[in-house]
Chains A and B, each alone.
Chain A
Amino acid sequence: MEANQAVQTNAVSVKTKTKASFYQIVWRWHFYAGLFAAPFLIVLAISGGVYLFKPQIESMLYKDLYYVEQASDASEATALAPSALIHFVQQMHPDGQINSIMFYDDRTRTVEIGMTENDIASSVFINPYSGEVLGSLVSGERFTDIFVKMHSELIIGGTVANYLVELAACWTVILLLTGLYMWWPRNRASIWGTVLPRFRQKGKVFWRDMHAVPAFWLSLFILILVLTGLPWSAVTGKQISSLATSTNTGYPPYALGHGAKPESTLKTKDVAKGGPWATENLPVPVSMANNYVPLTINEAVTIAEGAKVEKPYRVVLPKTEKGVYTVTTRHTVPGGEATLHLDQYSGAILSDVRYADYGIMGKAITVGIALHEGRLFGLANQLLGLITCLGVIGIVISSFVMWRKRKPQAKLGSPTPSKDKHRTRVVFVLMLVMGVLMPLVGISIIVVFVLDRFVLSRIKPVKAWLHGA
């Protein structure tokens, strides 16, 4: 009887020890990962939170450019031909090269003409009813462009910053997994401290709940934001697209306006040379008799509308004699996507790819991007994104408070390493598996491991500060 009891107690203590040991190891990973990711998460949350509201912000800031002054004009008036609008813009910017023209589905919106002048790309806004040029905005210098740059490349820009953002995003996945493991109720399940915070508690328990409870609630949304953001990333994004291509589940050929394009057929070598192609400013020298003449923008627009392309859409003008008219839609909600390439001489539709033609991954990525940008289901989507952004900021703040409370003066305050070598190794291998799925994580683990093993641990003070033991 007594022996039996002893065995039982022993079993319980072994079990708790196992859990405690895993907890200790996971906590260390969570701590270091959090320490690295926290500053990036703050930047991503703030910039993302602002960018979510791009449509509202820009409509307000650029009201005078985006909208025609007299809305009543718009309901009655007939719009001028696209070629006329282009001509007006060309008159005001004789050296500008017109690249594209964008029509919105809102009758009070102006028409946006893309132009390059002295190597500077800009959008010129023109009232489609009166032909009055209202002004222009340099590309990349709109208010929200700053936040996009902050969000994707931390303002400093370049590949390194882009990789850092991806690295932080991938480590966030690990933060979520390790965090959920630590959050999981260990002893008896209670709603307090799991799904509801213990408000009456003070100090460490309070801050722990302020961290873990909202993090649990938002974990799914944070994960969704990370996953839907990954298609943009340099390394994982490339993997995703090659996976989609190899399984034929992504985008069909010529699906994206900015990608590869088919070519217009040069029927004979006698195509009228010289440009600019955009302006239909055709030279008619005698030697050019019996030449094929490129279609006008008006004809391209008529063909596009005949093919049931709905506004808002952008028509990109052919840049070279083999170029095509490219029509792409800019719908906020996925489903209406269309990309058409038109032969500039015959108007033949060389390719016509709609949302329905996308593979399952192409559709998923398209919907995911809309969700990420808060476009999928209107204001509710934007607010959900905003709540997640604010939540992330709060979670980082509470973790910071917890850390400061624990941190000794002279040390980093990291959780003490587990003495259980075997379990430490098990978790390490699990992390390496994550590293295979997210290559940047894998590389960073290996780099940190090597650095720690062969450099930092040889410098006593650094080792003591970093490892806390």
Chain B
Amino acid sequence: MIKKVAVSIMLAFVLVSSAACTASTDTQKKQHVSSQLNAEIITPESIALKQETVLQVRLTDHNEPVTKADLVQFEIWDAKKGQGKEGSQMIPAQHEKDGLYTVTTTFDQNGVYFVQTHVSVGEQHVMPKKQLIVGEVSAEELKAVQEEMLKHEQGASEGHGGHHH
């Protein structure tokens, strides 16, 4: 009696595990929230001082142009202020066509700048940034910018509110 019970339990075990092993493998679960939103910042080759400069961002989602973004903004700040975005300027962009969003701005000083685009499309957000060089910038100035960036990072605590409650 005990033997029979034991044998049938064992058999059930083996059957279940072998059945499970051969179960379907093709249905891969849906990819969980994977952002396919892409923002490509387009800037002129060289930027001249005190002249209207056009900055653009091309938005695609799954390689299709995004024509109805919820939010497209350009944030521009002087690299001498580091990555703390101190004194940054926020400019809303206009949709031109085919997912191309544009702002026009003027740089009044030579130097290195950061341009960051803040883009929201539904639940997706992206915020790529580029660094720009405006006018003539010497190697020394670049070095100074770099050092300044480090110094600012030390004390930087504004604008990244995320981590303190």
A→B interface (CB under 8 Å): 22, 78-84, 87-88, 103, 107, 181, 243, 245-248, 252-254, 262, 265, 267, 272, 280-286, 288-293, 295-296, 298-299, 301-306, 343, 345-354, 357, 359, 426, 430, 433-434, 436-437
Contact = CB atoms under 8 A, between A and B. Distances in A.
Given A87-B150, A87-B154, A346-B38, A81 B131 contact: no
A453 to B, nearest CB: 24
B21 A248 contact: no
B40 interface: yes
B146 interface: yes
Contacts of A426: 3
Interface in B137-158: 137, 139, 142, 145-146, 149-150, 153-157
A248 B30 CA distance: 11
Most chain B CB atoms below 10 A, which of A267, A284, A433: A284
A270 B9 CA distance: 64
Contacts of B128: 267, 292, 345-347
B130 interface: yes
Contacts of A434: 10
A354 B27 CA distance: 20
Interface of B: 2-3, 6-7, 10, 13-14, 17, 20-25, 27-29, 31-35, 37-41, 43, 45, 79, 83, 112, 114, 124-133, 137, 139, 142, 145-146, 149-150, 153-157, 159-165
Most chain B CB atoms below 10 A, which of A107, A181, A295: A295
B125 A284 contact: no
A79 B164 contact: yes
Contacts of B20: 243, 246-247
Nearest to A433: B10
A238 to B, nearest CB: 13
19 contacts: A246-B23, A247-B24, A253-B31, A265-B38, A280-B149, A283-B146, A286-B137, A290-B130, A295-B127, A298-B160, A303-B125, A343-B35, A345-B128, A347-B126, A349-B35, A353-B32, A357-B32, A430-B7, A433-B13
A302 B161 contact: yes
B23 A301 contact: no
Contact of A299 (B6, B21, B25, B127): B127
Nearest to B149: A282
Interface of A, secondary structure class, is mixed
Interface of B, secondary structure class, is mixed
A253 B30 CA distance: 9
A288 B145 CA distance: 14
B37 A348 contact: yes
A292 B130 contact: yes
Contact of B163 (A265, A301, A359): A301
B136 to A, nearest CB: 10
A267 B40 contact: yes
Given A82-B160, A303-B125, A306-B162, 16 more contacts: A79-B163, A81-B153, A82-B163, A83-B160, A87-B153, A253-B28, A281-B146, A285-B142, A289-B131, A290-B131, A293-B131, A302-B160, A343-B126, A350-B35, A430-B10, A436-B14
Nearest to A84: B154
A298 B162 contact: yes
Contact of B156 (A84, A262, A265): A84
Contact of B132 (A245, A267, A289): A289
Contacts of A293: 114, 129-131
Contact of B17 (A243, A254, A346, A349): A243
A405 B155 CA distance: 73
Nearest to A356: B32
Contacts of B39: 346
A301 B163 CA distance: 7
B4 to A, nearest CB: 11
Contacts of A82: 160, 163
